[in-house]
Structure 1
Amino acid sequence: MSRWWPESARRSTALAAVLLSVAVFALGWWGIREFVSVQLSRDAVRSTRAQLDRVADAYRLGALDSAVLSGDAQFEVVADDGRAVVHSTQLSRLDPAWRPLPPAPVGAPDGWTTTTTEALHPGTHPQWREYRTYTVVGTVVDNVPAALVEPTGRTGSTVAEGLAPSTSGAHYRLTVYLFVLPWDTLNTLKLFDETLAVFVPVAVLLTALVAWLAAGRALRPVEAIRRELAEVSASQLGRRVPVPRSRDEIARLANTTNATLDRLQHTHEQQERFVADASHELRSPLANLRTGLEVALAHPERADWPAVAERSLLDVGRLHRITADLLQLAVDPGGVARVPVDLADVVREQVAERSAGSGKPAVRSFVDGPAVVLGEPVQLERLLRNLLDNAVRHASSAVTVTVGHHAGTVVLEVLDDGPGIPPAERERVFDRFARLDDARTRDAGGSGLGLTLAREIARRHGGSLVVADSATGACLLVRLPAEGA
């Protein structure tokens, strides 16, 4: 930012408005002045040419007394030989060294007209403002009798001044010139300039004031948003910025800011849960592992080292499962790629893998054709694996997996014949490390995060996971959007 340009948005807006208004008013002033000047100059030329026509008609009619001009008129009548017949005293007064204008070209007919320019040189005359270039209009009057011309070289305020009786029968061709006087134009332009010299500064000041007030009013919600954001901290992520009632860009900014704060709060809470869950749940297996090893090392000669290693391996496995589940829950799903996945194939693979074991509840599947969804294959496999692990741990003899379709969704049902889940606990089982009071308490084989992670994966894929009613055992029901639905 330039050193002379203010950093404040309000001041910048007001200054920009002032500069823009100055530029607009200056251009408007100049443009209107030029337009008025051209129009007034054209009117002055037309008026002067009308006076010239009256003087020419007076010569033709022989009635010069009718050729009355104003007292400050500047005119000159020139004969074909270049002699000045008569010119106004104004010319002699304003330019003492005045020389006659040239006559019309030879052969120019009666009524021939011309427009030219001529500069006056006052010399030592005090009226220095008269040192200017004038527009001069001229016309030809032919066959003028000597009585309206002689004697030549006259000066006066009218073309008839100084005439003397003449008996000469000569006739002259005269070129009559009349200067276009700019006084009306100059006076009008002066009044125009004086008026705008007062109006423009007042208009610029009003523009600056309006811009200042409008910018202040527009930025007031921004300042409120800034103050509220300044109060947001790690311990006060629940604060939200005020949203103005208008539907302009600032309102959208406030809504976006609040949405960002929502995401930040969610992420912060997720991190806090992760830290709390990890510190809480990792403490027990780590303590067991350390205690077992310390006891064995304290009495190495009496320790059953294979049993110690086996117990330690179980604790390490539990630590591994808990860590993997916690990390999976902490993963941001925004970058997960979505590809077509046939959930029926995933079910067949998982069921075939578990059917190979012995001494465990039987796992059966019922698949109603392909069940394609859009998702991440590894996560969808993890969802089914967690549901099956949970069902197998609590089933008495059998687990049934069913895959079907309903209203544009793929429905996955995992049913066991275990003790079931009481209706009051059907939501709490999805909480992290939730413990039930009955037979479905978490055993040593689980991390306490399996159902939590399964629901999170379903949610990430636009679906849901709930505990449904069943005649026996627990029924976990997953609904995912079918491909193309």
Structure 2
Amino acid sequence: MRPREVVIRVRPRTAGLSRRIWRAILRHPEIRIRVTVTSALVALILSTTLCIVLLTMVRQHAVSDAVREIAREGGRTARAISVGTLKERISAPDDHLQQVVDVNGRVLAATPAMEGRPPVRFPPPPSNDDRRDGRSCEVDAPGGDCFLIVEYRVGSGRDAVFVYSLTPAPGLLPHPLTAALLILGVPLITGLVGYATWAAASRALRPVDEIRRELDEITATDLERRVPQPSRRDEVGLLAESINATLDRLEKAVARQRGFVTDVSHELRSPLAALRMELELALSAPDDTAPQETMQAILDNTDRLTAVVDDLLALARLEADRNFEREPVDLTELTDQEVLTRPRRTQVTVLSEGSVTVRGGRNELARLLRNLIDNADRHAAREVTVVVRPEPPATAVVEVIDDGNGIPPEHRERVFERFTRLAQGRHRDAGGTGLGLAISRDIAEAHRGTLVLTDRPDGQPGARFVLRLPQ
């Protein structure tokens, strides 16, 4: 039975640790800390890379200077050989080492530090040149383990001699002071970049902190307050502007909701009070109360309550969701149905040259037309005219015209407000809820249309509601 081989993979701990640290930094809740740490790490990497590049350049420069210097000294010795003035002891600076060796490997001359040492072993220059530069760690010479070598060849054939100039190879840090300054610059640059980033991020985020504190203090009963808006139109300034605009809309919506709740309470109080009164009278004096009349009064008040609740539900549905199902609707046919469905106190005439079709919600458009016709029927003296016609380029127009007293221009927008009843028509509008025209305009706007109140085209007294819907 062969033993099973087990392979164990060991992940380096440093890599996992660095990933966990970086992940923790990125998940830190404060933006300024994440930005500061990220910029400091980037600065550390870049400054370290720059330091390594500069140290490499400094070392290369030191190597070039050393090679140039020993090449000059070796050139002097080579010229001395050429003119025949070479001595066995070569005079040169203490850190320059030289040997002159013939083709048989015999040392002919040397500097004092190289006397008595084995000949330098180094490949000869190429045949088309008399000089070779290089580096070797296999030289028996004082001052170091590895040496820079410049080799000259003087003469040719069996008479050729080789001049070797050596100097210890510079270490990784040839200039300690320069290297120390460059290395110390890495944490200095990293710290400066981190501090500058922290200061800039704190300054940039200071308006955000003020906005947050102001928003924390704003409540539903204190909506008139606004967040501070910076003078600079940067991203934070635009954010503050958007927040203030949102607070404006929220304040208007809350004010509208409060007014709506107040109006609803007022509108529901009247039929509820009438119901209570009828019931109390029936209970206090049952013999003096006609059951038929009492039940009829209760039924009338119940119908009014039902109408108000239905209109409120319609408004709530329109505000909650305007993405109702849409289909092709013939406005001429729908108008005829609404006119014929319910009895009217006045004569209602529908004028149309044919079908006018729009795309929308059938139930919603039926309610819109019903509200307009009912409103005109309550305020008209004798007749109501409904005109359905197309209008170029692609608009359907419905005009509902009555011959009543009309509405002054300064009050024409008020009739579309919720629970609004003008004084001059209050006695005629007793059967309404005060929500019909508001619902009609909301339905028109939900269909990307308009509903306005204007004068009659013939100049006669009365009101003219004009509905425009895109086809």
After superposition, residues 18-167 of structure 1 pair within 5 angstroms as 18-64=40-86, 69-91=92-114, 99-102=118-121, 111=130, 113=132, 115-118=134-137, 130-142=143-155
Q: For residue 346 of structure 2, what is the aligned residue in structure 1?
A: 361
**1:451 and 2:437 matched:** yes
Looking at structure 2, the residues matched to 292 and 108 of structure 1 have their Cα atoms a distance apart, in angstroms, of 132
Looking at structure 1, the residues matched to 165 and 209 of structure 2 have their Cα atoms a distance apart, in angstroms, of 70
Q: For residue 159 of structure 1, what is the aligned residue in structure 2?
A: none
Change (3 A) 1:373 1:99: farther
**1:311 and 2:324 matched:** no
Change (3 A) 1:481 1:334: farther
What amino acid is the match of 2:60?
V
Q: For residue 220 of structure 2, what is the aligned residue in structure 1?
A: 234
**1:438 and 2:424 matched:** yes
What amino acid is the match of 1:38?
Q
Change (3 A) 1:234 1:121: farther
After superposition, residues 311-460 of structure 1 pair within 5 angstroms as 311-331=297-317, 333=319, 335-337=321-323, 345-355=330-340, 360-367=345-352, 371=356, 373=358, 375-404=360-389, 409-441=395-427, 443-460=429-446
Query: Which region of structure 1 is more displaced relative to structure 2, 191-200 or 269-278?
Result: 191-200
Q: What SS class does the counterpart of residue 2 from structure 1 fall into?
A: helix
Q: What SS class does the counterpart of residue 316 from structure 1 fall into?
A: helix
Looking at structure 2, the residues matched to 425 and 79 of structure 1 have their Cα atoms a distance apart, in angstroms, of 122
Q: For residue 208 of structure 2, what is the aligned residue in structure 1?
A: 222
Looking at structure 1, the residues matched to 440 and 122 of structure 2 have their Cα atoms a distance apart, in angstroms, of 111
Looking at structure 2, the residues matched to 67 and 173 of structure 1 have their Cα atoms a distance apart, in angstroms, of 18
Q: For residue 13 of structure 2, what is the aligned residue in structure 1?
A: none
Looking at structure 1, the residues matched to 76 and 149 of structure 2 have their Cα atoms a distance apart, in angstroms, of 16
Change (3 A) 1:26 1:251: same
**1:284 and 2:307 matched:** no
Q: For residue 9 of structure 2, what is the aligned residue in structure 1?
A: none
Deviation at 1:8, TM superposition (A): 4.3
What amino acid is the match of 1:35?
M
What amino acid is the match of 1:78?
V
TM-score by length of 2: 0.78
What amino acid is the match of 1:137?
V
Change (3 A) 1:132 1:378: farther
What amino acid is the match of 1:117?
S
Deviation at 1:236, TM superposition (A): 1.7
After superposition, residues 172-187 of structure 1 pair within 5 angstroms as 173-182=160-169, 187=174
**1:246 and 2:232 matched:** yes
Q: How many residues align?
A: 445
| Among candidates 233, 242, 261, match of residue 275 of structure 1 | 261
Deviation at 1:347, TM superposition (A): 4.1
What amino acid is the match of 2:85?
A
What are the Cα deviations for residues 212-269 of structure 1, in whole angstroms up to 9, with x where unaligned?
Answer: 3322332232233223323321112122223334332112212221232233223323
| Among candidates 173, 176, 179, match of residue 193 of structure 1 | 179
Query: Which region of structure 1 is more displaced relative to structure 2, 295-304 or 383-392?
Result: 295-304
User: Does the Cα contact within 8 Å between 2:332 and 2:356 map onto a contact in 1?
Assistant: no
**1:255 and 2:241 matched:** yes
Change (3 A) 1:351 1:107: closer
Looking at structure 1, the residues matched to 356 and 109 of structure 2 have their Cα atoms a distance apart, in angstroms, of 115
Looking at structure 1, the residues matched to 179 and 125 of structure 2 have their Cα atoms a distance apart, in angstroms, of 46
Deviation at 1:71, TM superposition (A): 3.1
User: Does the Cα contact within 8 Å between 1:421 and 1:440 map onto a contact in 2?
Assistant: no
What amino acid is the match of 1:76?
Q
Coordinate RMSD, CA, aligned: 3.9
User: Does the Cα contact within 8 Å between 1:78 and 1:102 map onto a contact in 2?
Assistant: no
What are the Cα deviations for residues 49-104 of structure 1, in whole angstroms up to 9, with x where unaligned?
Answer: 45434433432332326976333212233344444444433357xxx9x6443365
What are the Cα deviations for residues 99-133 of structure 1, in whole angstroms up to 9, with x where unaligned?
Answer: 443365799899374634126789xx9xxxx4442
Bigger radius of gyration among the two: 1
Deviation at 1:374, TM superposition (A): 5.5
Looking at structure 1, the residues matched to 451 and 405 of structure 2 have their Cα atoms a distance apart, in angstroms, of 20
> Unpaired segments of 5 or more residues in structure 2?
1-22
What amino acid is the match of 2:41?
L
